[in-house]
Amino acid sequence: MARGALDWIGAELEALDAKGLRRSLEPIGPAQGPVVTVGGRALVNLCSNDYLGLAADPRVRAAAADAAARFGAGSGAARLVAGDLPPHGALEARLAAWKGREAALLFGSGYHANAGVPGALVGRDDAVFSDVLNHASIVDGCLLSRAELVRYRHCDVDELAGLLARTRARRKLVVTDAIFSMDGDAAPLRELAELCDRHGAMLYVDEAHAAGVLGPGGAGLAEALGVQDRVDVHMGTLGKALGAFGAYVAGERRLVELLLSRARPFVFSTALPPPACAAALAALEVVATEPSRRTRLFALCARMQAGLARLGFDVARVASPIFPVVLGSEARALAAAAALRERGWFVRAIRPPTVPRGTSRLRVALSAAHDEAQVDGFLAALAEVLPGLPPPEAGRPG
C-alpha cells in the first residue's frame, strides 16, 4: 500500500521522464559476455567493463565455486571483527606484488574505497584537488572528507599548478581517474606526479578502468608510464577487467595500516565474500600468464578508434577500450541506443549527471572477447543510424 508521505515521488519520476533522465534496469543473461540476451534477443554487448572477458571465464568461475565450497558464500563480519578469512590476505599479498607496493587493503567496491579513503587522508584543514571529470564516487569521497574540494579543469596541469601554489591547506591530496570512465582518455600522471613532488601533495590514482588493461604486467596506467613509485595511493577495482567484485588500495605499509583503522567503509562494512576474492586471484593469474588478451583488446580498439574517427567522432585522446560517441542531447543518445538495439547492438545512452549536460553519449566499451566482425558490424550500424537521429537541439552542443 502506497503511503501518503511518499506522494512527492510520482511528480519527481515524471520530471525525470520528461527530461529524458529516468533510468531503468535492463536484465541481461545468461552471464556477462560479448553477446548477451536482452528482452529475449541475443545482442552484441558493447557496454560492459569486462575488458578481458574474464567475468565468465571457466577458471575464474571455478575458483569462485571452489572458494564458496571451502570458505563459505559470505564473510559474516567486517575484517576487523570476525570476517578475516584466508582468501582476503592471499589476495592482498598478490595485489601488493602485482602493483609493486609494500601492502594492499581490500574494500567492498570501488565506490566504497573512493567514498572512504580520502576522508582517512585529509580533513577540515586540508584541501583535495580533483579533476572535474573524476568518477562520482571520488567526488562523494572528497565531499565526505570535509576537506576543501578544489576542482581543476580536465587534465589541466597548468591550472592545477596554480591552485597548488596558492593553497594554504595543511595537507594536499590530488586525486584523479587513471582512465576517465566516460571518455576513455588517460590522466597526465607523470606531470601530476611532478607537481605533487614539488608541492608536497599526496597523489591518489583510481585505476578502475586501467588495471588489467594497461602496462606490461597489466597493472595499470602508472605501470605503463613507469611512475608507480611516485603515486602514493594506488586504488583499483576487481569488478571490471578482473571480472570479479571489490576493490583495493595499494601503497606503503604505513598507508595501509592507517586505512585499516581509519577508512570507514573498511572498518564498518562486511568483508568481501570469499568467492569474489578467489575469482580475483584466478583473474590475476590470467592477467599474468595471458598478455595476448591485452594485445588482442588493443588491436580491436585501434580498429574501433579508426572507424569512429572516420564517422567524425572525436576519439583522438582515447587510450583505453572506452569510446565516447558524443551525440549531445539526451533525446539523441536515447534514440541512437534504441535504433542500434533494433539492429542487434546493446549499448546504453549515458546522460547527466554521469556526463556533463549537452554531452549525452553512447559509451562503447570493447572486450578481448569481441571480434573484428563485431567491431565492423557496429561501425556500419552506427553509420546507418546517425542520419535518422533527432536534430541537435538549438542552443545546445550537438
Least separation in angstroms between CB 268 and ligand PLP: 17
Residue, CB closest to ligand PLP: 110
Say which DSSP state 240 is in.
Answer: S
Q: Which of 204/382 has CB closer to ligand PLP? A: 204
**Closer residue to ligand PLP in complex, CB, 111/298:** 111
Q: Is 114 one of the binding residues for ligand PLP (CB under 6 A)?
A: yes
**Binding status of residue 239 toward ligand PLP by CB under 6 A:** yes
Known catalytic residue at 320: no
CA distances 25 to 331, 332, 336, Å, are 18, 20, 18
> Is residue 398 classed as helix, strand or coil in its secondary structure?
coil
Q: How far apart are CA 252 and CA 172, in angstroms?
A: 18
- Closer to ligand PLP by Cβ: residue 109 or 329: 109
Cell numbers for 387:
542520419
Pairing between β-strand 148-152 and β-strand 127-131 as defined by DSSP bridges: parallel
* Cell numbers representing residue 82 in the block: 570476525
Where in 139-178 is the site for ligand PLP (CB under 6 A)? 177
CA distance 279 to 333: 35
Q: What CA–CA distance (Å, rounded) separates 138 from 116?
A: 9
Cβ of residue 388: shortest distance to ligand PLP, in angstroms?
31
Could you say whether residue 110 binds ligand PLP (CB under 6 A)? Answer: yes
For residues 296 and 69, give the distance between their C-alpha atoms in angstroms, rounded to a whole number: 34
Among 32, 75, 109, 176, binds ligand PLP (CB under 6 A): 109
**Strand, helix or coil at 330?**
helix
> Which one of the listed residues 240, 320, 367, 370 is annotated catalytic?
240
Q: Which of 99, 135, 172, 209 is catalytic?
A: 209
Interface map 175-204 toward ligand PLP (x if CB under 6 A): --x---x-----------------------
35-38 sheet: strands from edge to edge: 28-29, 35-38, 41-45, 345-346
Residue 137 binds ligand PLP, judged by CB under 6 A? yes
Q: Is 329 a catalytic residue?
A: no
Distance CA 295, CA 321 (A): 12
- Minimum Å gap between C-beta 15 and ligand PLP is 26
* Residue 172 among the catalytic residues: no
- 167 φ, ψ (degrees, to nearest 5): -70, 150
48 binds ligand PLP (CB under 6 A): no
Active site residues: 181, 209, 240
List of residues contacting ligand PLP (CB under 6 A): 109-111, 114, 135, 137, 177, 181, 206, 208-209, 237, 239, 247
